[in-house]
Structure 1
Amino acid sequence: MIAFVLPTVIPMYFWEETFTNSWHVAVILRYVYSLNMTFLVNSAAHIWGNKPYDNKIKPVQNLAVSIFAIGEGFHNYHHVYPWDYRTAELGNNYLNLTTKILDFFAWIGWAYDMKTVSSDIVQTRMKRTGDGTNLWGWGDKCQSEEQKREAIVLKEQNH
């Protein structure tokens, strides 16, 4: 109902659109776009990118997909840690809208028992099975000591 009926009825009621316009533009076009974005995530995030957590599996970290799909391009992390509700190890999760929404629902009490992975486990796995890339810059040689401390604090706040 929410995916098909409301997007059809609301434009008809509030803006006096015809059924045909509402159905084709608000429903079908949106649905086709959503499906294609889903296919993009499941294609591009398995082909192009880095493998900072496990270089032996196909899924990759793809920043461009993450931007276009509102945070869903962190597939290498997601496949290594499928139980982590955040689906990404980002520090402040600024790209991951899904995580922000889940955090909001946890804040109001509608979501609970959300599992995460500690930063120690993530760092250990990266060193053991990752490809050596560090997509988010944590611990890069070019970081100052202050930036490294800030990164650690940000990561700990989000775990």
Structure 2
Amino acid sequence: MKKPAIIWLNVTIFVVTFLVAAIGVPYRAYTHGFDAMEMSFALICFIYCGMSITAGYHRLWSHKTYQAHWSLRLLFALGGAFALQNSILHWSSDHRVHHKHVDNNDKDPYSAKMGFWYSHIGWMCREYQAHRYSDYNNARDLQKDAIVMWQHKHYILLSLVMNFGVPIAFGLWHGNLINSLLLVGFLRLVLSHHTTFFINSLAHIWGKQTYTDKNTARDNGFLAFLTFGEGYHNFHHIFENDYRNGIRWWQFDPTKWLIKSCQWLGLTSKLRTSPEDKIEKMRLAMMLKRSQKKLINHPDAEKLRLKLQQEYDALIVKINAFYQVRKALLQAKKEQVINDVENSELLAQYNEVKQKLVEQRRCWQLITANLV
């Protein structure tokens, strides 16, 4: 089967920028050096580009996990052009197709089952998805956003202004144009590209399937560090409408922190989260599945499998009871239907089911930990 035509513009950009970053930057560092201000500004630009993709292109526009003030949307639109990853409309349309048809080699634009190279960068080097360059029917909501359409219409101009204008302006101001072009221009762009591309490639290969094994997405804390929180990809693929990727307080997700912080400033609103009980039940279902696999060659497999299932079923019952009572308690506090909530029967019931849940979790953890 004949391969699609090569997209020479993309290939040229990827090859030239990578070679300059890989060869030119180290050579310049050795012969002339870079000062702290140059490196700091390059890092700031890298963060700006990365967060514009994660908080803007991805969680705001692709998944509509929250709403943002026009000023923040404008900043993300300019940062997205700076990151040189196509327009908001095109990027979001592709990404929605990816989620709808994940791992389907015929429909997923960057299917991980096509291999690391293809999902990382190869899918952008040939005309694999030519029909999608003008079909944005799955992003009609975005076409009502004036900033999205302004950026889409003027994307090439904005990309040129941001990718040449910012490094040149900083270089002229700081007094070293070549250093600025190398660090803020080439190195920053290569890092922006490949850290984002890792989500399509490595995050579907390397890591843990915490919540589902129905797709190749993985959770990986190291990748989260490189990608502003996007590395918790298994969670994201099952709870794509959640504004968070790292849901635990200790998980590195600066995109989540940015979105939440902007809410305090009145710049974001209607932050969407997934129900806690649903998240926990999905995680436990995967734990059950992994635990059952461990028992395949165990001499008491049937007995242990039955015990495991019983403990799991009991845990699910107690989770349902706990979240049902907690919901009623929160509703009572909100509507003030109970005058003394702190001494009410409802609070006593809540504490009781909470304690039972804690005990059942201990039993579950004990039996899963002792499986060989």
TM range (shorter): 0.7 to 0.9
Question: Does residue 86 of the first structure (1) align with residue 244 of the second (2)?
Answer: yes
> What residue in structure 2 maps to residue 117 of structure 1?
274
> What residue in structure 1 maps to residue 175 of structure 2?
16
Identity %: 26
Cα deviations across residues 80-124 of structure 1 (Å, max 9, x unaligned)?
00000012322x154111011111111111100110012111011
Question: Does residue 98 of the first structure (1) align with residue 248 of the second (2)?
Answer: no
Question: Which of residues 214, 220, 223 is equivalent to 1:56?
Answer: 214
Say which structure, 1 or 2, has more relative contact order (CA 8 Å, 6+ apart): 1
Q: Distance in 1 between matches of 2:219 and 2:194?
A: 19
Larger radius of gyration: 2
Are the counterparts in 1 of residues 221 and 251 from structure 2 also a CA contact under 8 Å?
Answer: no
Q: How many corresponding residue pairs? A: 132
Are the counterparts in 2 of residues 7 and 27 from structure 1 also a CA contact under 8 Å?
Answer: yes
Q: Partner of 2:242: helix, strand, or coil? A: coil
Provide the aligned C-alpha RMSD in A: 2.3
User: Gaps (5+ residues) in structure 1?
Assistant: 134-144, 149-159
| Per-residue deviation, 1:10 | 1.7
Q: Between Structure 1 and Structure 2, which shows a larger proportion of helix residues?
A: 2
| Per-residue deviation, 1:6 | 2.2
Q: Which amino acid aligns with 2:245?
A: T
Q: Partner of 1:78: helix, strand, or coil? A: helix
Q: Distance in 2 between matches of 1:57 and 1:88?
A: 19
Q: Partner of 1:45: helix, strand, or coil? A: helix
Q: Distance in 1 between matches of 2:187 and 2:240?
A: 31
TM-score with structure 2 setting the length: 0.33
Q: Distance in 1 between matches of 2:211 and 2:238?
A: 7
Q: Partner of 1:31: helix, strand, or coil? A: helix
